[in-house]
Structure 1
């Protein structure tokens, strides 16, 4: 292949696309096209002989060598996963040859033997036994011939499977079934028999019977991936059950509704804030929003603190929204007289007061945590002192 000749690449990619169209299985189309392209490009690289006297070629030689080694490694790995002489390739022929010969010989002999005995009227019990023996031999030979046919058909299917693999170390059952014109169930049974016969020495079929995997490494990786997906699905299902239980829990329902109502107030305050151009009041409202959100987040994690939200919900947030709405209306007036300016300043000062109240509420919520930490520190200091491990003891 000429190093700049990519005509075969186009043909191979088109063949891959055509197979996908025929089988209507597009799940592996992208990987197959990439595999075909990489193989073709590697052939181009391997066919190119660098000029070692040219510094540009010397710089690329190592990379090309590694590419070639990787391709050889992949090809060698796949070749060890597929039997060179599949079971039945020789025995199938022998069964067919000797079976059909025996069928012809013993069948013809038994037929002639029976006709002669009937014509001569000498069909005794001994002759009947001889006829039966010849018939059984003919039947056994026919069974041998049919076994050979079955073995040869399996070898042909094996070769079709290998061609459809196209150097890959895994393939979907659906794709293989479509390629040979059989059902998925037939192909799974067929492949399991081939694996048992060593035609795919390291072959496995996944638990869901969706893929043929040609080596232990990829099978283990696939199983780990499936196990992780199963674990994630179970965790997600467990999470959904917990959320459903929380939704049905009356106390959780009350908490959720309280927080949702509070956040609705905050959204309305934010909308009013967006309509007010003043920077100072916007800063105050942003501060108020951040503090309130922290309170909601804390109460979500500590539902026992829900009573602390009652006053916030029943008084502070509604009055805050009312003040902000009033400020928005005052600020929208075309003439800003003394009364309007005074009212706006009073609202801004009141917002500082409300923010301070919210900060104190948030601080009170953390009181128990702070107390527990202080108690732990006191206990630790006492233990260290008893063991003589404090800084005071070292100075002695």
Structure 2
């Protein structure tokens, strides 16, 4: 039994015993009634204190490929950490800012997928290839930078990385936009309904009021 679970069980048991002895010995209630109430306290506290799995954990548990998807997310978290660490070590200001933007966008994608795990399969390639590749590129860029190498091959590699980062930035931003497309469509539909209601009630719509 894990330490956290053991502590939760001990706390629930201690509370149940306290209730039982208080009712049975202190207030001299019926022993059976006191025992029933104590058991109720134990069960209630056990349920209350037991850790609840987040939405992604429940999603993984419900699927045959749940273990694989969970492993993909765990690897993505490690890749994301590497991207952020490498981005922060880049000395060229413009390159560092673009790399840090990529790290921030990747973090938002990862956090969104934790809340909407059903969308993980749709971005499987992004998680398993793009993040990993981005991490390795930045690691190599920083390694050359910190080694102080200025050979033509190294300078050409660094130049290619600086040219590619803005394009990758656009691609990562587009990936996040596509992920959130359903929410955007739902919101736009709500806005249309609200606009119709406003027109029905004789109020100006927000499109008119913004002009």
Calculate the TM-score normalised by the size of structure 2: 0.65
The correspondence of residues 257-268 of structure 1 with structure 2, limited to 5 A, is 257-268=71-82
Rounded to whole Å, the distance in 2 between the matches of 1:283 and 1:256 is 30
Rounded to whole Å, the distance in 2 between the matches of 1:321 and 1:367 is 27
Contact 1:316 1:354 in 2 (8 A): no
The correspondence of residues 272-283 of structure 1 with structure 2, limited to 5 A, is 272-273=86-87, 276-283=90-97
Higher helix share: 2
Contact 1:272 1:328 in 2 (8 A): yes
Say if 1:292 and 1:229 are closer, same or farther in 2 by CA, change over 3 A.
Answer: farther
The correspondence of residues 52-131 of structure 1 with structure 2, limited to 5 A, is none
The correspondence of residues 265-304 of structure 1 with structure 2, limited to 5 A, is 265-273=79-87, 276-304=90-118
Partner of 1:320, secondary structure, is helix
Partner of 1:209, secondary structure, is helix
After superposition, the CA RMSD in angstroms is 3.5
Contact 2:55 2:114 in 1 (8 A): no
| Aligned residue number for residue 156 of structure 1 | none
Contact 1:320 1:351 in 2 (8 A): no
Tell whether 2:179 aligns with 1:372: no
Q: In the TM superposition, what whole-angstrom CA distance separates every residue of 1:131-155 from its partner, at most 9, and x where no partner exists?
A: xxxxxxxxxxxxxxxxxxxxxxxxx
Contact 2:76 2:131 in 1 (8 A): yes
| Aligned residue number for residue 47 of structure 2 | 234
Partner of 2:195, secondary structure, is helix
User: Unpaired segments of 5 or more residues in structure 1?
Assistant: 1-204, 215-226
Contact 2:198 2:204 in 1 (8 A): no
Calculate the TM-score normalised by the size of structure 1: 0.38
Say if 1:307 and 1:246 are closer, same or farther in 2 by CA, change over 3 A.
Answer: closer
Residues matched between the structures, number:
175
Contact 2:59 2:66 in 1 (8 A): yes
Rounded to whole Å, the distance in 2 between the matches of 1:274 and 1:312 is 22
| Aligned residue number for residue 14 of structure 2 | none
The correspondence of residues 136-285 of structure 1 with structure 2, limited to 5 A, is 207-209=19-21, 231=44, 233-237=46-50, 239=52, 248-250=61-63, 251-273=65-87, 276-285=90-99
Q: Give the number of the structure with larger relative contact order, counting CA–CA contacts within 8 Å between residues 6 or more apart.
A: 2
TM superposition shift of 1:243: 8.5
Say if 1:283 and 1:311 are closer, same or farther in 2 by CA, change over 3 A.
Answer: same
User: Unpaired segments of 5 or more residues in structure 2?
Assistant: 1-16, 28-39, 206-211
Rounded to whole Å, the distance in 1 between the matches of 2:54 and 2:155 is 55
